[in-house]
Amino acid sequence: MTKRRRLVLESFILTLGFFATQFVDINFRYWVIILLGILTYFFTALILRQDLQKIGWLVVLPPVVYYVVGASLFYFLLPQKIITRVLILGFFWVGMYAVLLTGNIYSIASSFQTIQLLRAAQAVGFLITLITAFLCYNTLFSFRTSVWINGLAVFIISIPLILSSIWSIVLEEKLSGRLIIYSLILSLLVGQMGFIIGFWPLTITTISLFLVSFLYIVLGIVQSFFSGKLFKNTLKEFLQIGIIIFIITFFLAYGK
């Protein structure tokens, strides 16, 4: 069986697992999701083992697990209607295959540096990072914990996602100091924003969208910097988007 067929099969099996978690008793559901995340990690590693470098265990595999766990937790928050279940299952399967395929391209590119579809994979990977972050942030704020816990949790959640996203641009064989520092700084910024926005009278969805938008801006700037494409106009566009998003969010919070 070819690797691509194995990825399709894994995405199908994980989709069934994702669907099955919704029928587990609520007292065991979180443990089942954790187990599903662990199985996802090792199944993906088994399929990608031929091209997976040592660094891949830290930057290629975690985003796959994040997507599965984040989507499974987010599924609890949705209306339990048949049409909703079907649509989410379809969305999850497509996203799951995209995550696996992107990880496969990264693992190969980290060995050969230049392969076809790398730029497409980087664009898809960036989008998946934002989607996964939204799923995780939305689930986190749905627990309605204190702003301090929210800020710390957003910081911790963001580290692997940001680290993987920045690494996908440089494809280093080892984790360099600058890669770690930039990832920690960006995660800290997002965590601080998660702490601040928790004081605003906003819905959970609006808060999550705001944080993802902020992540899009800061991560987009850093990715452009690492790829050597951070020009004046690029920075200006990101800042303009940030100002617009801030104004809209402020209006939603205090415009009534």
- Please tell me the distance from the alpha carbon of residue 18 to that of residue 45, in angstroms, as a whole number: 19
Residue 160 contacts by C-beta under 8 Å, 6 or more apart in sequence? Answer: 59, 62, 63, 66
Longest distance between any two alpha carbons in the chain, whole Å: 59
DSSP 50: T
Cα first-last separation, the chain: 59
- Six token digits for residue 138: 């939305």
Quote the pLDDT of residue 156. 96
Give the pLDDT mean for 176-180.
Answer: 91
* Stronger pLDDT, 120 or 76, i.e. the higher one: 120
* Stronger pLDDT, 116 or 118, i.e. the higher one: 118
Band the pLDDT of 47: cuts 50, 70, 90.
Answer: confident
Whether residue 164 is predicted with pLDDT greater than 90 in this model: the reply is yes
Quick one: how far is CA 179 from the chain centroid?
18
Per-residue model confidence as pLDDT tens digits over 127-144: 999 999 999 999 999 988
Quote the pLDDT of residue 1. 67
Q: What is the mean pLDDT of the chain?
A: 89
Q: Let me know: does 47 contact 10? Beta carbons within 8 Å.
A: yes
% the chain with pLDDT above 70: 96
- Six token digits for residue 231: 């020009």
Q: Which of 6-20, 58-72, 105-119, 155-169 has the lowest mean pLDDT?
A: 105-119
Whether residue 113 is predicted with pLDDT greater than 60 in this model: the reply is no
Per-residue model confidence as pLDDT tens digits over 184-218: 999 999 999 999 999 999 999 999 999 999 999 99
Band the pLDDT of 108: cuts 50, 70, 90.
Answer: confident
Give the pLDDT mean for 148-152.
Answer: 95
